[in-house]
């Protein structure tokens, strides 16, 4: 039996990569300095994995921005618009790479970034490959080979990790009509083979191909593509040992295909699909050679592994196929886990009682190693921790459970249907056509973060911190008034993160100080841990929202994070159904919504950007999830009068296939990310005849690029062809916390002018 790991967090335990990338982008460090940070993180990661007992350590799991973007660069899938970046004097491959991720607006060039979307059901975002009908691929970057050699030189014989050809194609998007991207398998495979030849020449023995689409519904064409690709690879490299990794769900209907592939090892996510081992053994189709990698340690959550249960699975596998054909592993790459629990030393933020229930990436490696050679002593200690959690009085609050049981039908719908509410809201709010607004947050500048940091460390008084936040809020309100935005926001300066902030104020949550997880590029989040029943002790946002409203006669939107998003972006207890925890959160948010209304707030936004991400990967399971998720949103939003306008916001997901359910949420207004896909999403809203109001994002906030008024007018004109103008709002794609003030001011000023021009177009006699 051997241990292996599918991937290790690459941000560094102190977010060194984030700091280095951001310094490189702002010109504070040069390429060599950036590369040095990358090298030292890689070396540290390989060392840690070896020290913690991993036999087969991955390489090429490191990335400066995103592993899918790495593949696009490697395979030469570089959209034409970026070719000029590389031609510019002084630019290098990294400049091209970052331009693809972030857009490029300098030296006379103005190029939009590639699209970004969620990685399966996680809060990690990848850069979407773009394909054309005549798409050619060629080996462009040799990062995987360089990193393999770098590891070798440092004394580690690694297993390079690549996204498999079928999943890579499926992760991408056709940028023109008339072809199916899976048909590009014939064009792409030669480049994979060329790469493998180079790896072979470097004496690579093992390779991991990630094919997570095996956890999704696949058609016959995709299954054939898998068979074709792996047969060709086997033919060309008969002795290469391939680990084919599927994760996040069962193989399901794809099991037969997976078992038929000529690979050395199949990796199973036994956390998400505990029946998978039985399915395989019972199928009788594993054959006498194929190895299995048992993904037993949860890469998606932070609870300690239950050694007793895992060992039962291991023993079952050992008796069926023998220990020489087995790997023990985490369920998926550990990039979704915080790095090191040992760094959590503050008893006040994370008590030792709860800490003893947890395991982060580094500890998960040790769990994998422990499971390989489980001693009685390790088992006993582990079972004590599991018992301590199961029987802890910290977890259960009878009053919270009782309240959930008393939720009635009247809690999950508004007083009147939207058609009635819309009339009342139009009368009450008197907003112009194309009302302009933003999504909530304004720049979280280094200054804002450092004041908060000083306050949290105790070197700044609460009063001084709050006075500072008040000043920031005042400036933001007066600036929004000056440029003529219609519905204002207070700016969310007091919030560290849209989920952590709420979690910090709710019972049933704990927090880490160092538990960062990459969300996209250099951006990280610190997901709260929901360990027990959730309840709200007092209002969470009323003071700041009311303060904002007191500064202006325009409407200030209340800004809340919705129950599904709080659930989805936290590490959730696994001792009760997620739906139950979600209902507890929904009630807490409902109380906050009604408190905001009582405080005179007329427009309240409940963000649900993670509603799509929570969908099970297989369509057959969608309905059940959507039933409780949509209901939770409705419970949180339905306690208000008809005149109170409820907004929701969603971003960075494919929403086309859940429009009906988005409509069922019955928010009066939805603001939604649209600009990177040039309003493509609105086709679905049009086809479905979406009844409520919509603010399709008119510019991409994830890129520092400032959009022109004209391009936003163009997008709005496109939107107007699809959605009646009486239903349209004008706003950016998402919150502005990641942007600087300079670009924010320019972009929003242009956006307000774009809305004004649209109003003129509508009211002009020619129109």
Ligand X SMILES: CN1c2c(nc(N)[nH]c2=O)NC[C@@H]1CNc1ccc(C(=O)N[C@@H](CCC(=O)N[C@@H](CCC(=O)N[C@@H](CCC(=O)O)C(=O)O)C(=O)O)C(=O)O)cc1
Q: How far is the CB of 584 from Zn ion (least distance, A)?
A: 24
Which candidate, 573, 106, 461, 516, places its Cα nearest to that of 343? 516
d(CA 450, CA 360): 27
Q: How far is the CB of 117 from Zn ion (least distance, A)?
A: 13
Which candidate, 19, 151, 50, 177, places its Cα nearest to that of 521? 19
| CB nearer Zn ion, residue 293 or residue 570 | 570
DSSP state of 558: E
Spatial contact of 3 and 368, defined as CB atoms under 8 Å apart: yes
Residue 123: name its binding partner from Zn ion, ligand HCS, ligand X, none (Cβ under 5 to 8 Å by kind).
Answer: ligand X
Residue 378 annotated as part of some ligand binding site: no
Residue 649 annotated as part of some ligand binding site: yes
- Residue 370 contacts ligand HCS per CB under 6 A: no
Task: Provide DSSP, 696-714.
Answer: EB-S-TTS-PPPPHHHHHH
Residue 523: name its binding partner from Zn ion, ligand HCS, ligand X, none (Cβ under 5 to 8 Å by kind).
Answer: ligand X
Stretch that binds Zn ion, among 125-133, 238-246, 337-345, 609-617 (CB under 5 A): 609-617
Residue 92: name its binding partner from ligand X, ligand HCS, Zn ion, none (Cβ under 5 to 8 Å by kind).
Answer: none
Residue 496: name its binding partner from ligand HCS, ligand X, Zn ion, none (Cβ under 5 to 8 Å by kind).
Answer: ligand X
Out of 72, 246, 441, 645, the residue judged to bind ligand HCS by CB under 6 A:
441
How many residues make contact with ligand HCS (CB under 6 A)?
Answer: 12
Query: Can you read off the two tokens belonging to residue 692?
Result: 């409520």
- Residue 498 contacts ligand HCS per CB under 6 A: yes
Out of 125, 291, 647, 702, the active site residue is 702
- Residue 609 contacts ligand HCS per CB under 6 A: yes
Angle made by CA atoms 532, 537, 543, in degrees to the nearest 5: 130
Out of 367, 607, 613, 743, the residue judged to bind ligand HCS by CB under 6 A:
607
Task: Provide DSSP, 287-321.
Answer: TTT-EEEEEEE-SS--BPP-HHHHHHHHHHHHHHH
Torsion of CA 211, 212, 218, 224, to 10 degrees: 0
Which residues does residue 326 pair with via DSSP β-bridges, in sequence order? 292
Out of 75, 534, 572, 734, the residue judged to bind Zn ion by CB under 5 A:
734
Taking CA atoms, 52 is separated from 39, 57, 363, 396, in Å, by 20, 11, 8, 35
- Residue 613 contacts ligand HCS per CB under 6 A: no
| CB nearer ligand X, residue 504 or residue 725 | 504
| CB nearer ligand X, residue 58 or residue 443 | 443
Among residue numbers 736 through 755, which ones bind ligand HCS (CB under 6 A)?
737
- Residue 185 contacts Zn ion per CB under 5 A: no
Stretch that binds ligand HCS, among 84-92, 143-151, 436-444, 521-529 (CB under 6 A): 436-444
Q: How far is the CB of 672 from ligand X (least distance, A)?
A: 13
- Residue 696 contacts Zn ion per CB under 5 A: no
Taking CA atoms, 637 is separated from 280, 418, 607, in Å, by 45, 13, 11
Spatial contact of 359 and 49, defined as CB atoms under 8 Å apart: no
- Residue 629 contacts ligand HCS per CB under 6 A: no
Out of 12, 103, 330, 440, the residue judged to bind ligand HCS by CB under 6 A:
440
Mark out the alpha helices in 75-184 (DSSP H runs).
Answer: 83-87, 93-102, 143-153, 165-171
Binding residues (CB under 6 A) for ligand X: these are 18, 123, 444, 446, 449-450, 452-453, 496-500, 519-520, 523-526, 569, 609, 734, 737-738
Which candidate, 36, 115, 97, places its Cα nearest to that of 677? 115
User: Under 8 Å CB-to-CB from 449, ≥6 apart: which residues?
Assistant: none
Residue 492 annotated as part of some ligand binding site: yes
Taking CA atoms, 75 is separated from 67, 69, 136, 168, 703, in Å, by 12, 10, 9, 10, 24
Taking CA atoms, 25 is separated from 13, 34, 66, 661, in Å, by 21, 10, 16, 40
Out of 339, 593, 632, 651, the residue judged to bind ligand HCS by CB under 6 A:
651
Using a 10 angstrom Cβ sphere, with 0-12 exposed, 13-18 middle and 19 or more buried, the burial of residue 691 is middle
Out of 302, 651, 670, 706, the residue judged to bind Zn ion by CB under 5 A:
651
| CB nearer ligand HCS, residue 63 or residue 541 | 541
d(CA 672, CA 258): 37
Note if 647 is an active site residue: no
Residue 440 annotated as part of some ligand binding site: yes
Residue 441 annotated as part of some ligand binding site: yes
Place of tokens 């924010």: 744
| CB nearer ligand HCS, residue 455 or residue 501 | 501
Residue 734 annotated as part of some ligand binding site: yes
Strand, helix or coil at 491?
strand
Taking CA atoms, 146 is separated from 142, 183, 194, 603, in Å, by 6, 30, 15, 54
Taking CA atoms, 57 is separated from 42, 184, 291, 365, in Å, by 11, 31, 17, 11
- Residue 48 contacts ligand HCS per CB under 6 A: no
Q: Is the dihedral of CA 361, 363, 366, 372 positive or negative?
A: negative
Backbone angles phi, psi at 705, to 5 degrees: -65, 135
C-alpha 534: how far from its chain's center? 23
- Residue 649 contacts ligand HCS per CB under 6 A: yes
Query: Can you read off the two tokens belonging to residue 445?
Result: 């500048």
Residue 613 annotated as part of some ligand binding site: yes
- Residue 488 contacts ligand HCS per CB under 6 A: no
| CB nearer ligand X, residue 117 or residue 359 | 117
Residue 559: name its binding partner from Zn ion, ligand HCS, ligand X, none (Cβ under 5 to 8 Å by kind).
Answer: ligand HCS
Residue 446: name its binding partner from ligand HCS, Zn ion, ligand X, none (Cβ under 5 to 8 Å by kind).
Answer: ligand X
Residues placed in the known binding site for 5-methyltetrahydropteroyltri-L-glutamate: 15-18, 118, 123, 523-524, 569, 613
Q: Give me the active site residues, please.
A: 702
Which residues lie near ligand HCS (CB under 6 A)? 439-441, 498, 559, 607, 609, 649, 651, 734-735, 737
Residues placed in the known binding site for L-methionine: 439-441, 492, 607
Residues placed in the known binding site for L-homocysteine: 439-441, 492, 607
Residues placed in the known binding site for Zn(2+): 649, 651, 664, 673, 734
Residues placed in the known binding site: 15-18, 118, 123, 439-441, 492, 523-524, 569, 607, 613, 649, 651, 664, 673, 734
Which residues lie near Zn ion (CB under 5 A)? 609, 651, 734
């Amino acid at each position: 039996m051997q241990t292996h790991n599918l991937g290790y967090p690459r941000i560094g335990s102190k977010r060194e990569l984030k700091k280095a990338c951001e310094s490189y982008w702002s010109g504070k460090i040069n390429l060599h300095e950036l590369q040095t940070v990358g090298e030292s993180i890689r070396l540290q990661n390989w060392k840690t994995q070896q020290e913690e007992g991993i036999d087969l350590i991955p390489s090429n799991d490191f990335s400066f921005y995103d592993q899918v973007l790495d593949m696009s660069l490697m395979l030469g899938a570089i959209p034409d618009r970026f070719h000029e970046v590389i031609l510019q004097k002084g630019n290098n491959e990294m400049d091209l790479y970052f331009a693809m991720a972030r857009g490029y607006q300098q030296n006379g060039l103005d190029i939009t970034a590639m699209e970004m979307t969620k990685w399966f059901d996680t809060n990690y975002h990848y850069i979407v490959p773009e394909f054309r009908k005549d798409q050619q691929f060629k080996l462009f970057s040799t990062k995987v080979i360089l990193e393999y050699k770098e590891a070798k030189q440092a004394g580690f014989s690694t297993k390079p990790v690549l996204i498999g050809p079928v999943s890579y194609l499926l992760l991408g998007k056709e940028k023109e009509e008339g072809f199916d991207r899976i048909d590009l398998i014939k064009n792409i495979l030669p480049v994979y083979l060329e790469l493998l030849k180079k790896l072979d020449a470097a004496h690579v023995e093992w390779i991991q191909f990630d094919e997570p689409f095996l956890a999704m519904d696949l058609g016959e064409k995709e299954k054939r593509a898998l068979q074709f690709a792996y047969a060709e690879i086997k033919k060309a490299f008969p002795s290469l040992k391939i680990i084919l990794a599927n994760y996040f769900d069962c193989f399901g209907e794809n099991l037969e295909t997976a078992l038929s592939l000529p690979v050395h090892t199949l990796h199973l996510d036994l956390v998400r699909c505990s029946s998978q081992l039985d399915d395989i053994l019972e199928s009788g189709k594993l054959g006498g050679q194929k190895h299995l990698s048992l993904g037993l340690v949860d890469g998606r959550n932070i609870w300690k592994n239950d050694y007793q249960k895992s060992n039962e699975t291991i023993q079952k596998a050992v008796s069926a196929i023998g220990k020489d054909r087995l790997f023990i592993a985490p369920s998926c790459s550990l990039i979704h886990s915080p790095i090191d629990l040992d760094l959590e030393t503050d008893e006040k933020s994370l008590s030792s009682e709860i800490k003893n229930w947890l395991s982060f990436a580094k500890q998960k490696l040790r769990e994998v190693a422990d499971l390989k050679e489980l001693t009685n002593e390790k088992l006993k200690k582990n079972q004590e921790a599991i018992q301590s959690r199961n029987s802890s009085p910290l977890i259960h609050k009878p009053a919270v459970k009782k309240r959930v049981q008393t939720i009635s039908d009247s809690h999950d719908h508004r007083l009147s249907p939207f058609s009635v509410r819309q009339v009342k809201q139009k009368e009450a709010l008197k907003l112009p056509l194309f009302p302009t607004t933003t999504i909530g947050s304004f720049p979280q500048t280094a200054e804002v973060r450092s004041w908060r940091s000083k306050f949290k460390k105790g070197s700044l008084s609460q009063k001084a911190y709050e006075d500072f936040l008040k000043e920031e809020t005042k400036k933001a309100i007066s600036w929004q008034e000056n440029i003529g935005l219609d519905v204002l926001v207070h700016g969310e300066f007091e919030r560290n993160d849209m989920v952590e902030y709420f979690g910090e104020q709710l019972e049933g949550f704990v927090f880490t100080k160092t538990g960062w997880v990459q969300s996209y590029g250099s951006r990280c989040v610190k997901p709260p841990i929901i360990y027990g029943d959730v309840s709200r002790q007092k209002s969470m946002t009323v003071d700041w929202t009311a303060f904002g409203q007191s500064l202006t006669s325009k409407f200030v939107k209340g800004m809340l994070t919705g129950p599904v998003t709080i659930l989805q972006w936290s590490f959730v207890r696994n001792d009760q159904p997620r739906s139950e925890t979600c209902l507890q959160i929904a009630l807490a948010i409902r109380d906050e919504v009604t408190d905001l209304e009582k405080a005179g707030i007329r427009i309240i936004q409940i963000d649900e950007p993670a509603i799509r991400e929570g969908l099970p990967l297989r369509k057959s399971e969608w309905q059940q999830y959507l039933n409780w998720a949509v209901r939770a949103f409705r419970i949180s939003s339905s306690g208000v009068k008809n005149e109170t306008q409820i907004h929701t916001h969603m971003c960075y997901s494919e929403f086309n296939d859940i429009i009906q359910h988005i409509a069922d949420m019955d928010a009066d207004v939805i603001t939604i990310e649209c600009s990177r896909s040039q309003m493509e999403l609105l086709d679905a809203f049009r086809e479905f005849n979406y009844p409520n109001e919509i603010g399709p994002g008119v510019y991409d906030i994830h890129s520092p690029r400032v959009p022109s008024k004209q391009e936003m007018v163009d997008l709005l004109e496109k939107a107007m062809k699809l959605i009646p103008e009486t239903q349209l709002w004008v706003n950016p794609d998402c919150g502005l916390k990641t942007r600087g003030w300079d670009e924010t001011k320019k972009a929003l000023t242009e956006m307000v002018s774009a809305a004004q021009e649209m109003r003129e177009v509508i009211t002009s006699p020619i129109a």
